Amino acid sequence: MQTAMENGLRQLIDVMDALCTLYGIVPIGQIETTIIWGDGVLEDTDKEYQRRWSMVLAGKLKLEKSFAWYFGCTEEAARELIPQQTQYPAEE
């Protein structure tokens, strides 16, 4: 079902690109399409979050990589979200 939906979405994007190019709305160029079927029946996001956070605390995963995954952004944007403290969790 997801494969059929993905194919349909990609075809729709191709048609939209052709129309935008035809009417001069956007310049001709490459389109990068990413479709992620996360947060469904086969993915437990709470478990994945806990797994990634454990890796951050163990020093096996960079904090910005975890933030990028969680917020769905680039690592550069994730760095902007990280507070200025240097240890996680914050020591009191």
Neighbour count for residue 70 (Cβ, 10 Å): 15
- pLDDT value of position 56: 95
Mean pLDDT, consecutive 10-residue stretches, the chain (92 aa), reads 89 93 87 77 81 95 93 91 72 58
pTM here?
Answer: 0.50
Q: 59, 50, 49: which is closest to 88 by C-alpha?
A: 59
- pLDDT value of position 68: 93
- pLDDT value of position 92: 55
What three-state secondary structure class fits 48?
A: helix
